[in-house]
Amino acid sequence: METREERNARHKRAMQRKKTLVDARIAAATQDKGLLLVLTGNGKGKSSSAFGMLARSVGHGLRCGVVQFIKGQWECGEHLLFQNHPLVEFHVMNTGFTWETQDREKDIAAARATWQHAAQLLSNPEVQVVLLDELTYMLTYGYLDATEVLAALAARPPRQHVIVTGRNASEGLIAMADTVSEVQDIRHAFNHGIRVQKGIDY
């Protein structure tokens, strides 16, 4: 049987091999660039991950912009936290969920008006991080012109990071992105009779 010393020596060799590989990968990643990140999928964690990156960015003193394309029933903690923050310009589409408004024309007008704020942020090189929360729905519903949205993303300042969230991200958006995560739904408490919880869900 392997002695404790032999086991520890084997662990050390394995970790040395791993460190060589990790160090080589770190050394190979030498570029800086404004990233396009897409957080999609049916599971919980897209917007909260995006706002996690916003919190990191604000922590580092970066100037940020947020556009939320769907406003829920509840006042979100992220809005309360960042709406008056000097580093954050925060816009919320002034309609609720599309199944709440039940008015397509009104939703389209609101989406287009809200997109103007996004377009402005995407053309301002002083804004270092832009979060377009729930943008994908505006494209799947056809409320915004996908070609126009992708063109604005492509033409943004080269060092500006953009985070897009929402289910069913289009192929075009995914193809453009530098980092794409699909959050998979395994279980969600809401589907088991638990109502939305402050801090966790909104």
Interface ranges with ligand ATP (CB under 6 A):
42-48, 134, 165, 167, 183, 185, 188, 190-191, 196, 201-202
Q: How far apart are the first and last CA of the chain?
A: 54
The residue number whose beta carbon is nearest to Mg ion equals 47
Q: Which of ligand ATP, Mg ion, none is residue 43 near (CB under 5 to 8 Å by kind)?
A: ligand ATP
Phi, then psi, of 124 in degrees rounded to 5? -110, 105
Is the separation of the CB atoms in 130 and 124 below 8 Å?
Answer: no
Out of 37, 38, 41, 47, the only residue in the binding site for Mg ion (CB under 5 A) is: 47
Is the separation of the CB atoms in 137 and 167 below 8 Å?
Answer: yes
What is the 8-class DSSP label of residue 83? T
Please choose, out of 2-10, 38-46, 83-91, 100-108, the segment that lies near Mg ion by the rule CB under 5 A: 38-46
Q: Which of ligand ATP, Mg ion, none is residue 112 near (CB under 5 to 8 Å by kind)?
A: none
Q: Which of ligand ATP, Mg ion, none is residue 190 near (CB under 5 to 8 Å by kind)?
A: ligand ATP
Identify the three-state secondary structure at position 180: strand
- Max intra-chain CA distance, the chain: 74
**Interface ranges with Mg ion (CB under 5 A):** 46-47
